[in-house]
Amino acid sequence: MNKYVRNGGLLTCILSGKIDTLNSSVLENEINENMKEGITSIVFDLQEVDYISSTFLRIVIKIVKAVGKENFAITNVQPSVLMVFKIANLTEIVTVGQ
C-alpha cells in the first residue's frame, strides 16, 4: 500500500512491497494526477520496498525529465534495490540515498 504526503509543491511517496509492472502503472497514474495539482518536487521513500521492476525505472526517468534532477530524490533504499539503480546507471541522474 502506497502512501502520499503533500507539503506545498512537494510530494513524498512512501512506497512498500514489490514495485512490479502492475503496481508501477497504478503508481504512475497517481503521480500524474498529483503533478496536475501543482506538484513540483517528488521524493520516493523506498524503506519498505524490496523489489523494483524495469517499469519502475522508466517511471523514475520520466519523473526526472518532468520535474528536473534537482527536484527528485529517492531515500531509504534497501541494498538490493540500490544495486538495481547502480546497474542501470541511474545513480548518475537520480539522487539515491540509503
What is the pTM for the complete model shown? 0.91
Query: How many structural domains is the chain composed of?
Result: 1
The pLDDT confidence band at residue 57, using thresholds 50, 70 and 90, is: very high
Give the domain range for residue 89. 3-96
Q: Are 5 and 11 in contact (CB under 8 A)?
A: yes
Q: Are 27 and 60 in contact (CB under 8 A)?
A: no
The pLDDT confidence band at residue 61, using thresholds 50, 70 and 90, is: very high
The pLDDT confidence band at residue 96, using thresholds 50, 70 and 90, is: confident
CATH assignment at residue 87: 3.30.750.24
